[in-house]
Each structure stands twice: as structure tokens, then as C-alpha cells.
Amino acid sequence: MMTLTVTGSINIDHVIRLPQFPRPGETLTGHDYRIVPGGKGANQAVAAARAGAATRLVACVGEDPMAGDLLAGFAADGININAIDTVPGVNTGVALIQVNDAGENTIALAAGANAALTPERLERHASALFCDQLLLQLEIPLETNLAAARLARAQGANVVLNPAPAQALPDELLTLVDVITPNETEAERLTGIAVNDDAGAAAAAQALHARGIATVIITLGARGVWLSEAGRGRRMPGFAVQAVDTTAAGDTFNGALVAALQQGLALEPAVRFAQAAAAISVTRPGAQTSVPYRADIEALLEQD
Ligand code: RIB
């Protein structure tokens, strides 16, 4: 069986909905406070598993009472949790999330146990990096992502990097990546090229190809996706939906994308599958609470 490993973060999301984001110095009363399982790594693993991929998550939680519930939730989704460590003396990662009436969000993070996923700890789970695909994001130490990409690439895995949250990256990491999936902001951060339109997306994709990445997929929100393979790009429009909460839409896209590749789909239908999954997620509140199952995704694709 083809295997997928996600190496990354686990967070407990504290979410408040507000009419609009407070300005500096302003206090605003919100509504619908919820505590939701989140973290980009965990969200992506859940999305991949619910889309049908045999998924393993390499990550860390703290000793707080909710950690056990999180692990039980992953196991219920069929995720292999053998490489999730419980780190003594720290809390699970936390995200404070504000969602406004337009469905947009702001996120403040405290890394907690995610900072304990060091290269040394990863080394103890090296066997988990023997996989067909490795999916990475940027909420754990950069050196750990580098170590994971080196190990997985050395034994022939397809390495997919979702470069979120936006940050500059070392050339070595980019040369170890087969597929990169930035949004507009992240693409600009990596290339210095503003992605405001198709021409900007094409130029940013070329800059990422020039840094050694064969496949560049730039997510453009409601405008869809810029898909560029070996220097040839095109825009794929998305699904028109009413956004309630865009939290974890990118994570859902990435998890569903690797699941579709895992099942042997060619790149373009795999992107379409991922777009459908992300479209469903924005119609639902929260992070993992919004991630669809394979049957939901196939139902939307059938209406297409
Ligand atoms: O991408 C959404 C995620 O970002 C949230 O679940 C939050 O935990 C932060 O990691």
C-alpha cells in the first residue's frame, strides 16, 4: 500500500467570531467561542486520511488534558499516531483565531510542543520517513523540515511543501522539494514577486522552478489555483461557494491533493479534487471540524 507521512504541527485552536477584527487598542465582544482541533500538520493529515490516504503523522503534543482527545480523534480518522510524542512539561501548541463576518481570519500562535519536534527527535522516528509521499509545512523548526525532506528524498519519496506560514526558506530545502503549494502571500515572500494576477502567478512560479522545484501550485483563494509544471502554467478556476470560515482551507487543499496523488490521479484531476475539498471546508466553521470526507468531495465533483 502507498503511504503518506505528514510531519508537522498540532494545535488547539481557540476561535472567536467577530463582526470585524479589532484595531490596536480596541476591545470588541465576539460570539461563538469554540475550542477546535487544529495545527497545519494535523489539519493536513486529517484531510488526507478523510480523503482516503493511508496517513501517518509525525508530531508532538504536550501533557495538557486535551492532548489525549486530539490523539483519539486522529486515531478515529484512521491516522497512524505511533510517531506522535507526548512531551513532558510543555503545552500542546495553541492558536488564537479571530474570524470575521467575511470568513477571513487572523491567527496568533504559541508553538508549545511543536517546538520540541527537533531533528534529534525526528531521528527517533526515522522509519516513519520511509514513505511514498512526505507532506511538510512550516509550524515546526525549519531544521526538522530539512532533516525530514533529506531522509524522505534519499529513499525516493515525493516531497510536497506547503510553505505556510510565510517565511524565507533556505535553498537546500527548496532543492529537496518536488511540489510546492504557496498561497499568494507565501509565493511573494519566497520570490519577491507580487501575485496579484495571472502574470504575477506565472512569474512567481517560474522563479520557484528556477530554484529547483518541478511542480508549483499557487493557491489564489476565490480565483482558483495557478498550476505550473516544468515551466508551463495555467489557472484552474475554483468552485463558487459562500465562505463561512476559510481557516484550514489551504490545509484541506494540501491533504486532499496528496491523497489524490497517492491514489494515482494525474496532477490536474488531483488539483481539481483538492479544490473541491477546500471549497467544502470554507463552507464550515473551524479547522478539523471543516475537513470533508471523500464521499462529500466526490459528490461535489459529480455536480461539476
Ligand atoms: O491553517 C490553519 C491552522 O493554522 C489553524 O488550525 C491553526 O492551528 C494554525 O496552525
Of 135, 87, 83, nearest to 111 by C-alpha is 87
Does residue 40's CB lie within 6 angstroms of at least one atom of ligand 1?
yes
Whole-number Å distance between alpha carbons of 70 and 57: 12
The per-residue pLDDT for 103 is: 83
CATH at residue 177: 3.40.1190.20
- Which of 14, 36, 40 to mutate to test ligand 1, by most ligand atoms within 8 A of the CB atom? 40
Whole-number Å distance between alpha carbons of 160 and 144: 15
Please write the tens of the pLDDT for every residue from 114-130.
999 999 999 999 999 99
Of 301, 299, 197, 292, nearest to 251 by C-alpha is 292
Of 4, 42, 34, nearest to 17 by C-alpha is 34
**Residue 240 within any structural domain of the chain:** yes
Q: Is the pLDDT of residue 203 over 80?
A: yes
Give the torsion sign (CA, 52, 56, 62, 68).
positive
**Residue 192 within any structural domain of the chain:** yes
The per-residue pLDDT for 264 is: 95
**Ligand 1 centroid, distance to 222 Cα (angstroms):** 19
Q: Is the pLDDT of residue 1 over 80?
A: no
Q: Is the pLDDT of residue 287 over 80?
A: yes
Exposed (0-12), middle (13-18) or buried (19+): which is 196, by Cβ within 10 Å?
Answer: exposed
- The x, y and z cell numbers of residue 8, run together, are 508537522
The pLDDT of 83-101, averaged and rounded, is 97
The pLDDT of 257-262, averaged and rounded, is 97
pLDDT band, residue 151 (cuts 50/70/90): very high
Q: Given the residues 77, 132, 245, 251, select the one marked as catalytic.
A: 251
Nearest protein Cα to ligand 1, atom 7: 39
Task: Please identify, by atom number, the ligand 1 atom nearest to the C-alpha of residue 37.
Answer: 6
Mean pLDDT, the chain, as a whole number?
96
Does residue 140's CB lie within 6 angstroms of at least one atom of ligand 1?
no
- DSSP code of 182? -
One-letter amino acid at 114 equals: N
**Ligand 1 centroid, distance to 214 Cα (angstroms):** 27
Alpha helices in 176-303 (DSSP H): 184-191, 198-210, 249-262, 267-282, 294-303
pLDDT band, residue 42 (cuts 50/70/90): very high
**Residue 121 within any structural domain of the chain:** yes
Whole-number Å distance between alpha carbons of 218 and 236: 10
**Residue 251 within any structural domain of the chain:** yes
Does residue 286's CB lie within 6 angstroms of at least one atom of ligand 1?
no
Is there a catalytic annotation at residue 197? no
Number of domains in the chain: 1
The per-residue pLDDT for 231 is: 83
Please write the tens of the pLDDT for every residue from 175-191.
999 999 999 999 999 99
**Residue 291 within any structural domain of the chain:** yes
**Residue 147 within any structural domain of the chain:** yes
**Ligand 1 centroid, distance to 95 Cα (angstroms):** 7
Of 95, 96, 98, 94, nearest to 22 by C-alpha is 98
The per-residue pLDDT for 192 is: 97
The pLDDT of 149-154, averaged and rounded, is 96
Percent of the chain residues topping a pLDDT of 70: 100
Would you give the distance in Å from CA 224 to the centre of its chain?
Answer: 17
**Residue 25 within any structural domain of the chain:** no
**Residue 21 within any structural domain of the chain:** no
Does residue 166's CB lie within 6 angstroms of at least one atom of ligand 1?
no
Does residue 247's CB lie within 6 angstroms of at least one atom of ligand 1?
yes
**Ligand 1 centroid, distance to 61 Cα (angstroms):** 15
Domain that holds residue 61: 4-8+39-83+114-303
Whole-number Å distance between alpha carbons of 280 and 296: 8
CA gyration radius for the chain?
18
Q: Is the pLDDT of residue 230 over 90?
A: no
The pLDDT of 83-94, averaged and rounded, is 98
Number of Cβ atoms within 10 Å of the Cβ of 158: 20
